[in-house]
Chain A
Amino acid sequence: MATILQPPRTEIERERPLGHTGRSGGGGRDLVPEGGDLRLVKDRPGEPTRTGIWVGLAAIAMSFAALTSALFVREGSGYSDWTHISLPRILWFNTSALILSSVALERARHSVADFMRGSQASRSMPMAWLNATLSLGLLFVLGQYFAWLQLRSEGLYLPTNPNSSFFYVLTGVHAIHVLGGLGGLARVMLKFRSAARPLRRSTMDATSYYWHFMGLLWVYLLFVLWLKL
């Protein structure tokens, strides 16, 4: 995740992000030098896509913090109706798929960087890793669906008991976010193949931050759902 992509060399990154680079001096880091010679201002501005994704992740983290806090309050409130459900085994398979998808995305990011540097001529390797990420992500969502089917077969529906309610809500809202991430990945793949609207470094990075965060979030949610207070 900490991989830093090198500055662009190929036509794929020729596009400048949103036109900001030409106009913003990164006000937060550079004063206008004495004499006002702006040619001395070298600093590049921050990239809104990267900032935006971190801000968005903060909001998502806050939402899930609220939901899981509600679960803790509800579970710890001492009412006798809390029935701790046993988690469907398929969740462990799903978890593995999501973690592997993160690994695949990191490989994809390296590969895309190699291609952009020119050290790799073909798009096929980056696309293969991106495809693997997308497939594993879809597998995760499909697996979650099977987990819900399994619970239904046990007679555990959304309103059956407080724990099943929280299970469906947490996994459902997370799955919606993962689907959003899959949409983002599809967009990255389209841009990577497109000459008209080429892929930007920041888009690749932002999508991968989001995807890795979904993985981390899932591990946290799984722990919360598994935990018995």
Chain B
Amino acid sequence: MSDASVHAAVHAAPTSFIRKYIFSLDHKVIGLQYYALAFVAVFTGMVLSWIMRVHLVWPNAPIPGLGWLSKVGAPGGVVTPEYYLQLLTMHGTLMVFFVLTNAPFAAFGNYFLPIQIGAEDMAFPRFNMMSFWTTFVAFCILISSFFLGDGPPLSGWTGYAPLSAVGADAGPGQGVGQSLWGISIFVFCIASLLGSLNFIATTLDLRTKGMTLSRMPIVTWAWFITSCIALLAFAVLLPACLLLILDRVAGTSFFIPAGLNVADHIQPHQGGSPLLWQHLFWFFGHPEVYIAILPAIGIVSHILICNLRRDLLSHRVLIYCMMAIGFLSYMVWGHHMFVSGMNPFSSLVFSFPTLMITIPATIMTLIWLGSLYGSNLRINSASLFCLGFISMFVSGGVSGFFLAQPSIDIYLHATYFVVGHFHMVMGVAAIMGVFAGTYFWFPKMTGRMMNEGLGRWHFFLTLIGTYAIFMPFHYLGLAGNVRRYSAFQDDYLIPLIPVHKFITYAALFTGAAQLIFIFNLFYSRFKGTKASENPWECTSLEWSTPSSPPPFDNFGGKHPVVYQDPYQYGVKSSTGDYVMQTSPEQASVAS
């Protein structure tokens, strides 16, 4: 490896346990901390979804332990309709903010972005540490709502005003719980802004010699584009949360209309606009979808190229597509509000760019499929999850075509069709990307390989399970099954209960399948086969570090110099069919 000497490290290597593992400045430790937090959040959210699914099909069944958690919300363990909505709110908030934003972006991005550009650390290591711990505080504030007042809020992860703004009159959890929700998201926004600022400055200023923008791996680009989106999106949600909190605690009327009667109580507010909250929230909310999915797109493309042993048809076009999606994401927020009573002409204005997003999304899909066609893909857990991602992205994305059209969305908007759509395209697809990333980078993060057999079992059970859960949601939606109901007692809904039972079984099954992953993760961490420095024969800089996990300063006191484009595969070289980015070797094209 060519290198330039290092004269000064960004910051000194930590010596104490606290500075090494808790209040660490090392981007790798911070990345793992984000991963651990997302891990806790995803399993909390999954357990909440289990409780909801069980309650939906056995509404009177007591759920062990739940009565202890909330005597009012679940007396004797039986979930009340209000508590169902409280669980639903927490499930959505945890998953969207603390899992889908944290895992693919903050966790993997923190760990690998600096290494992939040849830097020793992030541009602002202290901001980075603050960013994680602020996120952790936001998480604790949110979780505390389970134990304070009358539980968490019930206004959904979107916190729609005016019910989220008027206080305890709006129902259980709308007092203390909703305030905690608002404060938690406010704090989360600050953390995300700090993180995004760091990612952008690091990518622009800390690239090593020879690492031009065009030589950055596709996943580095994905994190960079995502950080640009996140910077502007969370900067809007932050003041929106401030206004919401002021409506709740200071008596202002930003989102509460005059004369609003809630629980037989005329609210003492003037003519605020509930729609204003929706506009501000969704201006953040739609880009948030891409904050979740773009890093996964980058991770999957990066891993696929390595396992294809050749570049994608055009990884540059794929980067341009990500940029286009990022740009368009700010022009489509109104498609979440087709049923808000907006002028039909306004709906068309939002519908058109929404449909335009399908163009770069389709180009990306065609690039993946075209690159896979006729290839000798190396099959392993990571590449299987990449295929799973593409499958889920396409299956979930196709329903987006329908929902983008106001006339169809008005019928489907309040149904399970939408639930199926966003769970597949945003939730499961992004999680598939996280799984792919975990299997792929685990050797670098721990120095050991994950168990391949368990990984494949995990993949197939997860793929089948998630399809079994979320595909029937589309059918339920088309049949008019309204979402957010805690039980189905209407005549037209009763025949659909067997479908719900099937989904509940599938959810329990798929959740249980994740135990394989948990076991594999912890078992392999300590007992897994020792990994070589570059077990996947990958070209990017994270595989050029002198050890796994990389040393404190990533490259062992030296700085890599980059000579190659990121994906030099399918060539003849001294290393085989690939050339590392750090190699000055002029490889010849393989015959």
Which A residue's beta carbon lies closest to that of B213? A28
Q: Residues of B contacting A165 with CB < 8 Å? A: 246, 252-254
- Contact pick for B232, options A18, A28, A59, A79, CB 8 Å: A59
User: Could you write out 17 A-B pairs with CB less than 8 Å apart?
Assistant: A22-B7, A23-B4, A24-B206, A27-B215, A36-B561, A46-B205, A48-B123, A59-B235, A62-B231, A66-B283, A73-B273, A73-B276, A81-B258, A81-B271, A159-B253, A162-B271, A165-B246
Cβ contacts B221-242/A at 8 Å (1 or 0 each): 0000000000110111011101
B120 CB–A CB distance under 8 Å: yes
Which A residue's beta carbon lies closest to that of B234? A59
- Contact pick for A158, options B124, B209, B250, CB 8 Å: B250
- Contact pick for A27, options B6, B231, B562, CB 8 Å: B562
Nearest CB in chain A: distance from B120 CB, A: 7
Given contacts A27-B209, A52-B124, A70-B280, contact A58 B231 (CB under 8 A): yes
- Contact pick for B197, options A46, A56, A161, CB 8 Å: A56
Supplied contacts A58-B232, A73-B273, 9 more A-B pairs, CB within 8 Å? A32-B562, A59-B197, A63-B239, A64-B239, A66-B240, A66-B280, A79-B270, A81-B270, A159-B251
A74 with B561: CB separation less than 8 A: no
Nearest CB in chain A: distance from B225 CB, A: 14
A169 CB–B CB distance under 8 Å: yes
Nearest CB in chain B: distance from A16 CB, A: 7
- A74 and B276 alpha carbons, distance in the complex (Å): 8
Which B residue's beta carbon lies closest to that of A51? B201
B212 with A19: CB separation less than 8 A: no
Given contacts A38-B561, A159-B250, contact A23 B210 (CB under 8 A): no
Given contacts A38-B4, A52-B201, A66-B240, contact A161 B209 (CB under 8 A): no
Q: Residues of B contacting A216 with CB < 8 Å? A: none
Q: Residues of A contacting B562 with CB < 8 Å? A: 27, 32
Q: Residues of B contacting A32 with CB < 8 Å? A: 209-210, 561-563, 584
A25 with B251: CB separation less than 8 A: no
B178-214 residues with Cβ-Cβ distance < 8 A to A are: 193, 196-198, 200-202, 204-213
A138 CB–B CB distance under 8 Å: no
- Contact pick for B235, options A36, A62, A169, CB 8 Å: A62
A158 with B251: CB separation less than 8 A: yes
- Contact pick for B246, options A48, A81, A158, CB 8 Å: A158
- A48 and B200 alpha carbons, distance in the complex (Å): 9
Q: Residues of B contacting A26 with CB < 8 Å? A: 207
Nearest CB in chain B: distance from A50 CB, A: 8
- Contact pick for A22, options B6, B276, B584, CB 8 Å: B6
A3-45 residues with Cβ-Cβ distance < 8 A to B are: 16, 18-20, 22-28, 30-32, 36, 38, 41, 45
Nearest CB in chain A: distance from B541 CB, A: 11
Given contacts A66-B240, A169-B242, A173-B242, contact A28 B254 (CB under 8 A): no
B243 CB–A CB distance under 8 Å: yes
Nearest CB in chain A: distance from B100 CB, A: 21
Number of interface residues of B (CB under 8 A): 62
B565-591 residues with Cβ-Cβ distance < 8 A to A are: 584
Nearest CB in chain B: distance from A153 CB, A: 19
Nearest CB in chain B: distance from A164 CB, A: 9
- A27 and B119 alpha carbons, distance in the complex (Å): 11
User: Which 4 residue pairs across A and B have the least CB separation, nearest first?
Assistant: A25-B209, A27-B207, A19-B8, A159-B251
Nearest CB in chain B: distance from A57 CB, A: 10
A66 with B246: CB separation less than 8 A: no
A169 with B246: CB separation less than 8 A: yes
- A75 and B2 alpha carbons, distance in the complex (Å): 62
Q: Residues of B contacting A91 with CB < 8 Å? A: none
- A79 and B251 alpha carbons, distance in the complex (Å): 18
- A120 and B279 alpha carbons, distance in the complex (Å): 55
A55 CB–B CB distance under 8 Å: yes
- A60 and B254 alpha carbons, distance in the complex (Å): 21
Cβ contacts B100-127/A at 8 Å (1 or 0 each): 0000000000000000011110011000
B209 with A38: CB separation less than 8 A: yes
- Contact pick for A25, options B5, B193, B208, B250, CB 8 Å: B208
B205 with A45: CB separation less than 8 A: yes
- A165 and B269 alpha carbons, distance in the complex (Å): 12
Q: Residues of A contacting B202 with CB < 8 Å? A: 48
- A47 and B271 alpha carbons, distance in the complex (Å): 48
A67 CB–B CB distance under 8 Å: yes
B584 with A36: CB separation less than 8 A: yes
Given contacts A22-B6, A51-B205, contact A162 B276 (CB under 8 A): no
Given contacts A59-B235, A62-B235, contact A24 B207 (CB under 8 A): yes
Q: Residues of A contacting B238 with CB < 8 Å? A: 63
A77 CB–B CB distance under 8 Å: yes
B239 with A23: CB separation less than 8 A: no
A142-175 residues with Cβ-Cβ distance < 8 A to B are: 158-159, 161-162, 165, 169, 173
Which A residue's beta carbon lies closest to that of B561? A32
B308 CB–A CB distance under 8 Å: no
Q: Residues of B contacting A59 with CB < 8 Å? A: 193, 196-197, 231-232, 234-235
Given contacts A18-B10, A159-B251, contact A55 B207 (CB under 8 A): no
Nearest CB in chain B: distance from A215 CB, A: 20
Q: Residues of A contacting B5 with CB < 8 Å? A: 22
B563 with A55: CB separation less than 8 A: no
B359 CB–A CB distance under 8 Å: no
A31 with B280: CB separation less than 8 A: no
Nearest CB in chain A: distance from B444 CB, A: 21
- A18 and B123 alpha carbons, distance in the complex (Å): 9
- A22 and B7 alpha carbons, distance in the complex (Å): 6
B120 with A23: CB separation less than 8 A: yes
- A19 and B273 alpha carbons, distance in the complex (Å): 51
